[in-house]
Structures are given as structure tokens and as C-alpha cells.
Amino acid sequence: MDVGNFYEATAAGTTDLYYVDTGLYDTPGYGSIYVLDSERPAVVETGTGHRSELIVDAVEHVGIDPEAMEVIAVTHVHLDHAGGAGYLLEEFPDADVYLYKDGAQFLTDPKRIWEGTKAVVGDRIEYYAEPKPIPEDRLVALADGGILDLGDHELRVHHAPGHAFHQAVFYDPANDGVFTADAAGIQSPTAGGLRQTTPPPGFDLEECLDDVEMLVGLDPAALYYSHFGDYETGDLLEQYADLLESWVGRVEQKRAELGDDGAVADYFADEAGETGHWGSGHARQEERMNVQGVLGYLDEREIDGE
């Protein structure tokens, strides 16, 4: 498994779908960008803007002329998903960007999301390109329950706000598969399997569990993870619900034990760094970010009196 590798998605009989490993944070098996070879060709997710040429190469590898690309669909505006949209618009001159409506403001004027990303990811910002504004006439805001018609495929939009209020997942009934965004967690072979993703500032446990329940209700045969690749659904969704509850409980317990949020973050960062997955530095930073999201959620829950 290497950065730049190209794959055909085949889980549960999936057809017409491919993805490329963009090497998010220089880590193989962590960031996947999808190419759907539909009558109206589509790219799903755009990465950070770093190594956007790999996405263009993947489109051409599928046999799609970049000038024929029509749809750039992003699940939410976190910049590991939407940061490359402006760069891809330059490569795909007839394409528009499609996303859930609550995220549109952050792509037409990306300064706020750029500053927020720098604050959250720290020195890993080196793996991001500063996002380019999306012209309003090339941005299409989607509503919950909306349908993005691709001809022989379609993407049905389902709002999934637990990870971030601007997140949606896309269900493709022709493949009976869901582009999961971050609503089903991280399923990365280089991360040791299924992992939580609970970053600040928007993580909300109850809403995340509602999102998983929504996905279970769709009953898809396949899951297309942004992190990383295609899988038969099996019991992955139920596993993720259990993982989320366990993870939040562990952070809450450790906070009560240590009484210091910095020490809590250090504890879990050290634990992650010892696993051998992702490389110690990236694993530590990722887990520290996840802890910060849970601590913020716990603070909000206390304010709300829950």
C-alpha cells in the first residue's frame, strides 16, 4: 500500500467506482478520493489540496477526460475533505462543487475554515494547501433529502451533523453503497482497523450515534470511507457506535482521574504513539485532536445540564 496507488472499488458488487490514495499526512491508506464513472462523471471528496495532481491522474486513469468531469462532491468542509475543491475546479473546467448547504459559506470565503484548521492540526498544516475560494456560480448547495442526479447513478443526500454540523453522507442506490464522510469513523488498514474521529469544535456524541443509526436504517451493502477505501458493511456500523461510546467514556473517566485536560490529552497521545500505527508523531497528534473534541463535548454537556 503506497501513496498514489489506484484502486477499483468492488465491495458488495460495487461497479463504476474507483479511488486513489492521496497520502494524507504522508500516510498511506488514510485519505481516499473517489472517482465515479457515471454518465455525469463525479469526484467525491477532494483532499487537502496537497497532491491534487494524483486526483487528476486517477480521473484520466479511469478514462475520463478532465474536461468532461461535471461533479465535485464533498461531504463536509473540513479541509481534508474539501480543501482541494478550488484546485480541482481549475483542472475540471466544466465541473461544479456540490456540498450540503450549511458548508457553502466556508468555501466561498475559506479564510475562517483555514484559520480554524491551522489551530486544530498544528504543524500538520504543512500537508494542506491554502484553500482557494469557490466562485458562487460554481457552487451548488444541497439540502437534506436532495438528490444529485448523475444519470446512471445518483447521490442521495443525508445530513449527518454529529461529526460536524455541515456534514452529509451520500447514498448511491445503484451500488447500494454510502460515501460515509466521517460519520462511520476511520477504517484504515494503516491505523489498525476501525478508529474514532472526534475532532473539535463540532463533535457531539448523541448526534454521532443518531448518524450511525441513520446509516443503519439505509441498510447499505457497501461503505465507502474517506479514511479509507471500500468495505462490505457487515457489522461495521454497530462496531462504530460501540467504539464511540467506549471512547467518550474512557476520556471522561481519565479526566475525572487526572483532573487536568492537558494531562488527559498527553495520556491518550502517548497511548496512541505506542501502537506503532501511522508513525508515532501523526498518531499522537491525531489522538490529541480527538481528545480535545471529546473534552469540548463534555464541557457543553455540563453547561446544558445533561
Task: State pLDDT tens for residues 85-97.
Answer: 999 999 999 999 9
pLDDT of 1 strictly over 80? no
Q: Which residue type does 29 have? A: G
pLDDT recorded at residue 306:
61
Name the CATH superfamily, with its identifier, for domain 6-242. Ribonuclease Z/Hydroxyacylglutathione hydrolase-like (3.60.15.10)
Q: Beta-carbon neighbour count of residue 90 at 10 Å?
A: 10
pLDDT digits (tens, 9 = 90+) for 124-160: 999 999 999 999 999 999 999 999 999 999 999 999 9
Q: Where are the domains of the chain?
A: 6-242
Q: At what angle do helices 280-303 and 261-273 cross, to 10 degrees?
A: 150
For residue 298, what is the enclosing H or E element?
Answer: helix 280-303
Q: At what angle do helices 111-121 and 280-303 cross, to 10 degrees?
A: 110
Q: Are 43 and 14 in contact (CB under 8 A)?
A: no
Set of cell numbers at residue 82: 474539501
pLDDT digits (tens, 9 = 90+) for 247-299: 999 999 999 999 999 999 999 999 988 776 666 678 889 999 999 999 999 99
pLDDT recorded at residue 51:
92
β 32-36/17-21 pair status: antiparallel
pLDDT recorded at residue 115:
96
pLDDT recorded at residue 188:
87
* Percent of the chain whose predicted confidence (pLDDT) is above 90: 87
Tell which wins on pLDDT, 276 or 78: 78
pLDDT recorded at residue 150:
98
Q: Across residues 11-17, what is the average pLDDT? A: 98
Q: Are 190 and 277 in contact (CB under 8 A)?
A: yes
Q: How far is CA 218 from CA 10, 94, 184, 222, in A?
A: 19, 32, 13, 11
pLDDT recorded at residue 277:
66
- 98 by DSSP, 3-state: which? strand
DSSP string for residues in 246-296 = HHHHHHHHHHHHH--HHHHHHHHHHHHHTS-SS-HHHHHHHHHHHHHHHHH
pLDDT recorded at residue 269:
94
pLDDT recorded at residue 280:
63
Q: Across residues 13-35, what is the average pLDDT? A: 95
Mean pLDDT over the full length of the chain: 95
Among 7-21, 81-95, 137-151, 187-201, where is mean pLDDT lowest?
Answer: 187-201
Q: Across residues 69-75, what is the average pLDDT? A: 98
* pTM of the shown model: 0.96
Task: Outline where 40-185 has alpha helix (H).
Answer: 52-62, 79-82, 85-91, 104-108, 111-121
